[in-house]
Chains A and B, each alone.
Chain A
Amino acid sequence: MANVALRNVHKTYPGGVEAIKGINFEVGDGQFCVLVGPSGCGKSTLLRMVAGLETITGGDIDIGGRIVNQIEPADRDIAMVFQNYALYPHMSVYNNMAYGLRNRGMPKPEIDTRVQEAARILEIGPMLDRKPRQLSGGQRQRVAMGRAIVRQPKVFLFDEPLSNLDAKLRIAMRVEIRKLQRRLNTTSIYVTHDQLEAMTLADILVVMNGGQVEQIGNPLAIYQKPATTFVASFIGAPPMNLMPLRSDEIRSQFAGDGRATSEAGIVGIRPEDFVISSEPIPGGIALDLTLEAIERVGAETFIYGTRQKEVQGVAATPGELPPGEVIVRIPGATAPAIGERIRAIAPREKLHLFTADGRRRIDL
């Protein structure tokens, strides 16, 4: 049981590439923290720095009140689950789990108790004598988790542990990891590029981009109030519609809205915040769209339309829609046909406004 704090953590590789550019956050005791971001954003590097597998070139990492910058991974009291599981191929499941305990000189009966207990929790009891290659992907995943929990560490570290599983198993394991973590109440840091995993697992969500933290907070709060256009387009699937507008356009269209200052340059609307209607909403936004594509998922339908009034002039950030395209989510499976023209409207309180560079959200 411990909290983990990162204080102004930096990582610069010998070649001069700065992978981590000063990161600060704290994970409270027993909390589940998820680091999410596109590939190459430094989230795995950061996790490996917490594990001690990468050196840090600046700042402090604090686990349970102890600065661990110079401490070997084995002595940091952490356990890690790897993306490819990293099970020892020549050892049985039992030995895979017992190996770390033996290296610490734990007495045999206690090792046995812990391994059996972990096997019971993870329902891998009948497989203890098998070798990893005789197991399915999901079972290997469980063994990797077992290897982490027998250690009873202060912190669990997960490095994209579910990305090698098929979609169905991934959802099942996701729920299981969360239940397990609640039950053991162990502080956890989890790295993923899957925003759905991030949303469902996290107590604290850390959205990273380019070696920096974009936003930290409760997942729902981040969803509802993304701090930058990057977060807005990264969290939520399909992504938020971001529309660059000239500030005079914004001021005229949003007259009376205190947010419509001269700084405002981008308007964001989540696909589910639109309504298809010809009734105008006062103070809201209305878009005339020509339908280009329709995705029927069953309970909901996503329609992709082109805005008829082109608005120019903003560099695309990752995940942003191509200029002119808007995604609208409507409930149910009914939808207009391709090529049809519709009017999508969104109320003013559902609009997000960002500065023209997308780096800051504008709130009242």
Chain B
Amino acid sequence: MVEHRPWNDIIAYAILTLGVFIVAFPVYLALIASTHDAATVVGGNMPLSPGGRALENYYRAVFVGGSRTSREPVGHMLTNSFISAIGIAVGKIFISILSAYAVVYFRFPFRKTAFWIIFVTLMLPVEVRIYPTYKVVSDLQMLDTYAGLILPLIASATGTLLFRQFFMTVPDELLEASRIDGAGPFRFFWDTLLPLSRTTIAALFVIQFIYGWNQYLWPLLITTQDSMQTIVTGIKKMLTTTDELAEWQLAMATAVLAMLPPVAVVVFMQRLFVRGLVETEK
């Protein structure tokens, strides 16, 4: 029996609205700040309505870069971020779907051990193993390269586990039918498992793209040249000034731009994303 109490609804909606406001207000503020000139933003009395400098700010952010502090235009940083986020997402999916396939479908010595080793790495994020990782990457001459930005981040226990769980829900008879139909391990993977994993792949892509995009510590450590900077580290550099006024309007424009690709990925892949996490198509 469900009673309808209007007050409950009102309170619930009020709390939700408050939540949305708390999340959305800083974003709104960034958007507004990116349309004013530097003096207005720094002045301390920034209005909450858009100013008239939007085009100029965004043009400078994308193509020119900050006048004094950051020497790299955002366009380039966006490209760097994009390459590394895509690289991380695709690399993670590639590695984890293959390792999950091996762990679920093949009998080999120490299979359980292999799985547990993968599982244990869940507890070792980049931050924990940052020194050895840095040492390896630097020994391999991968500082200031895309490979250096991408490779250390693509090993993924999360992805392996997600695919493993999905593979375990695929009925064994499909594998058996494939074997009778003359499909070897590779064909079964390519013709049956991969198409069935479509939604899982999409879900993982969204999560990992955002993970890659938001990387801060690692790119900060291994990139020294401005040309290899990602946008997330770039924003920070825009604000570290010694005796100059930080160009807040450009930093905010950059922040807004930095938000767009992850938002776009979520918006366009949301349907697949939700299906991948919620339902298993059989």
By a beta-carbon cutoff of 8 Å, the part of chain A in contact with chain B is 48, 51-53, 72-75, 78-80, 82-90, 99-100, 103-104, 147
Contacts and interface: CB of A to CB of B under 8 A. Distances in A.
Interface string B243-282: 0000000000000000000000000000000000000011
A99 B195 CA distance: 14
Contact of A104 (B173, B176, B182): B182
19 contacts: A51-B180, A53-B179, A53-B180, A74-B180, A78-B180, A80-B176, A82-B176, A86-B176, A87-B177, A88-B177, A88-B192, A90-B192, A99-B181, A99-B183, A103-B181, A103-B182, A104-B182, A147-B177, A147-B181
> Which one of A72, A78, A86, A100 has the greatest number of beta carbons of chain B within 10 Å?
A86
Interface string B169-190: 0010110110111110001000
B191 interface: yes
A74 B282 contact: no
Contacts of A88: 174, 177, 191-192
> Which one of B171, B181, B195, B281 has the greatest number of beta carbons of chain A within 10 Å?
B181
How many chain B residues sit at the interface, stated as a range, is 10 to 19
Interface in B149-200: 171, 173-174, 176-177, 179-183, 187, 191-192, 195-196
B194 to A, nearest CB: 9
A104 to B, nearest CB: 6
B281 A89 contact: yes
Contacts of B191: 88, 99
Contact of B196 (A74, A83, A90, A104): A90
Nearest to A48: B176
Contact of B179 (A73, A85, A90): A73
A104 B187 CA distance: 12
Main secondary structure of the interface of B (DSSP, over half): helix
Contacts of A87: 177
A88 B187 CA distance: 13
B179 A74 contact: yes
Given A89-B281, A99-B191, A80 B177 contact: yes
A130 to B, nearest CB: 16
Given A48-B176, A85-B173, A103-B182, 4 more contacts: A53-B176, A72-B179, A73-B176, A99-B191
A73 B196 contact: no
B195 A90 contact: yes
Contacts of B196: 89-90
B177 A82 contact: yes
Nearest to A51: B180
Given A86-B171, A89-B281, A100 B181 contact: yes
Nearest to A103: B182
A83 B173 CA distance: 9
Nearest to B172: A86
B182 A100 contact: yes
B180 A80 contact: yes
Nearest to A72: B179
B187 A84 contact: no
B187 A103 contact: yes
A326 to B, nearest CB: 43
A73 B281 contact: no
B195 A79 contact: no
Contacts of A73: 176, 179-180
A88 B282 CA distance: 9
A160 to B, nearest CB: 12
Contacts of A103: 181-183, 187
B149 to A, nearest CB: 35
